Chains A and B, each alone.
Chain A
Amino acid sequence: MANLNTDSIKDRTFDAIVIGSGMSGGWAAKELTGKGLKTLMLERGRDVKHIKDYPTTNMYPWEFEHRGEMPMAVQEANPIVNRCYAFHEDAAHFFVKDKEHPYIQDKPFDWIRGYQVGGKSLLWARQTQRWSDFDFEGPARDGFAVDWPIRYQDIAPWYSYVEKFAGISGNKDGLAELPDGEFLPAFPLNSVEQYFSKHVKSKYGRHVISARCAHLSKPNQIHLDQGRAQCQERILCQRGCPFGGYFSANASTIPWALKSGNLTLRPHSVVESIIYDDKKGKATGVRVVDANTKETIEYYAKIIFVNAAAMNTNLVLLNSTSHRFPNGLGNDSGVLGKYVAFHNYSAHISAQYDGMLEWTTDGRNPAGGGYIPRFRNLHKQETDFLRGYASGFSAYRWKQQNWDGVGSDFKDNLAKGELSPWHVGSHMMGETIPKEASYVKLDDKLKDEWGVPLLKISMDYDDNDAKMKKDYIEQLTEMFTSAGFTNIKAESDNRAPGLDIHEMGGARMGNDPKTSVLNKWNQMHAVNNVFVTDGASMTSTSCQNPSLTYMAFTACSADYAVSEMKKGNI
């Protein structure tokens, strides 16, 4: 028996464990296996194999029972996930349903989750901008959170590294606030987007650029080597792409890691906690509950990457208690679970433009149109609120069908249609300030069916967010008006935080172990073989989309971790 046990422990021992298989977990697995580490990747949900497990990907609109609409019974049973823009008949199977995984909203929070191999990287909106020193120096300059322990130049090479592999389309726009990257050709602005771009540049000195996105507009050899092909402009990405036209863990990093022969992928594995050995002063492994059998199994490794997605990474760390860390792993500072934040997406604006009628577009734009980088409080504080916002901008025309009437003429006209005038739209993407009062914590009593405490979430908009939203509406209205747009309608909604799906923080990076959980390598100050490289590690939120930065942090951190292992420091 003793031998059997030894063998069993040997079978459950790896060089590295990666918790989570999404945007950042996939990168951790790719990097660690690429450096020769036998790596175990744990995913709490089911496996989703590239192409094979995209059941709706090649379906035509008429093949959906309700033409995409969710049945009312499903909508009513899922008020939270039903608010997500992508929760439709073609992708609903990639979303967590409300009742499957309950959590506690100390304040309203729409927690949108994808529990499967690949996580939300299957579902994301694929917008990828670098962060700049206007972001990394933000907390220090404006006096909130703590100073980032890194600057742009520290992470810039790693942005390049991940961009080349993931495939990012964009233009070299030469903007300090949105540094250029290793780009594939951009998806161009259309006539009205370009008109607006020129107008706001000459009148305001502001920029409207082609949205940068993780699509293979023109694949390089490295992308073909991954088995991916050129983006076909289907814009059905949320179904999973059979061409691998956009970056997902399923299409890119995970198959790459598997090809190395060093990856063991274990789906249906709910991580209950990370095991800390008081004597060794290290984390020695993780405790997993098999999602189906509910059996508890321990896995061991020299290093552990925590990539469970921001909120769940906090949950795992808070639930990893020991004699040394009674309040959660690496939580000497007491800030673990605090200073969480999100992006403010609660305003948008639409209008019409009666010019450029000689132009339209043909086909579909996977980038979605234009992107207006942050222009507020960039070089100096100039408003009564801190930080700023980026904005989407797109212009479009469509064939209008006249739905008034009945009979044969009516029927014929449905097929003809008439081209609409140009419509334009913008949405706000605002930075929010991480605050001590914003938190996630574990419920004292309630547990899920795998014995893991339920997460309590509490974050909310504040006065700064309200002022920033007012400014977004004023500025965009003015820019639209001066461009000659008409019928301008600004709309502010009262969505809860969470629908932006950019929740961040809780295990933030910082220079000082007394006020942060991670150092500049995303390594725990107090446990040097645990690395957190997903959204939980973010010190502040910027207003750029965060995924590309998670990828860069992960690759950088994995490189550091392995070199430290080789030096014998871990």
Chain B
Amino acid sequence: MHRRIAIKNLALIIGGAALLPSCVHENGKASVKLTNLNISADQEKLIGDMAETIIPKTSTPGAKDLQLHLFVLKMVDDCATKKDQQAFMTGIGQFNDYVRKRYSNSFSDCTVKQREQILLNIEKDKDPKSSTYSAELKTFYGAVKGQTVNGYTTSKYFMTKQVVYELVPGRYNAFYPVKQKQTA
């Protein structure tokens, strides 16, 4: 990556991080203050690695740069139903067990290829009565995936550098040629 771009990105991240980790990092506890979920540092790391697998750092910032795993936790903690929060917590454990059993390793110690495969396999299993994945594991994965992508596509980085959100000045062109849109 060009240094100048890297610095620019870093500035964006620092400027845009809505969810700064709390200053005091208690041993074994998650770094973000949560009300309903009891998340350990290990679990936070797992979610961070999952988010980074979904939105990896490339020439542009990835999930960890954008603190998307903390956004995932915030959203599940504040906006999910009690039932989904319970499923989320059960699902973390089941996810860990499944990965260990299948890959003899923790998710974080798997290769990037393996990690991607693990997540894609869950995602592709649309069978509601799946024998491989419990409903809780799917709820857990669905929340991590959904909120990681939600957090990414609504992040300041994405909305100022990828698909630019314009607050003002506005306009409304009712007839706009698609060709023009594609080259815009």
Which A residues have a C-beta under 8 Å from some C-beta of B? 58, 60-63, 65-67, 69-73, 187-191, 193-194, 231-235, 357-366, 399, 401, 403-408, 410-412, 414-415, 417, 419
Contact = CB atoms under 8 A, between A and B. Distances in A.
Given A60-B156, A62-B154, A358 B177 contact: yes
B174 A188 contact: yes
A410 B63 CA distance: 13
B53 interface: yes
B68 to A, nearest CB: 11
B167 interface: yes
A364 B170 contact: yes
Contact of B123 (A58, A233, A360, A406): A406
B53 A62 contact: no
Contacts of B146: 403
Contacts of A399: 163
Contacts of B152: 411, 414
Interface of B: 16, 18, 53-56, 58, 60, 62, 74-75, 78-82, 116, 119-120, 123, 145-146, 149-156, 158-159, 162-163, 165, 167-179, 181
Contact of B119 (A357, A360, A406): A406
Given A62-B16, A65-B18, A67-B154, A366 B163 contact: no
Contacts of A231: 170
B158 A404 contact: no
Given A191-B174, A358-B177, A360-B176, A62 B18 contact: yes
- Give the interface centre of B116, B163, B172 by most chain A CB atoms within 10 Å: B172
A362 B165 contact: no
Given A61-B165, A406-B54, A414 B172 contact: no
A61 to B, nearest CB: 5
Contacts of B55: 410-411
Contact of A71 (B58, B79, B154, B173): B79
Interface of A, helix, strand, loop or mixed by DSSP = loop
Give the top 6 A-B pairs by smallest Cβ distance, nearest first.
A233-B170, A363-B171, A415-B162, A362-B176, A362-B173, A188-B174
A407 B56 contact: yes
9 contacts: A66-B78, A189-B174, A191-B175, A232-B168, A362-B172, A363-B173, A399-B163, A407-B54, A407-B116
B172 A365 contact: yes
A431 to B, nearest CB: 30
- Give the interface centre of B80, B116, B151 by most chain A CB atoms within 10 Å: B116
Given A358-B178, A362-B181, A415-B163, A403 B149 contact: yes
Contacts of A415: 158, 162-163
A360 B171 contact: no
A360 B172 contact: no
B43 to A, nearest CB: 19
A421 to B, nearest CB: 11
B120 A359 contact: no
A417 B182 CA distance: 11
B57 to A, nearest CB: 9
A408 B156 contact: no
Contacts of B170: 231-235, 363-364
A66 B176 contact: no
A72 B75 CA distance: 10
A72 to B, nearest CB: 5
A357 B178 CA distance: 8
Contacts of B62: 411
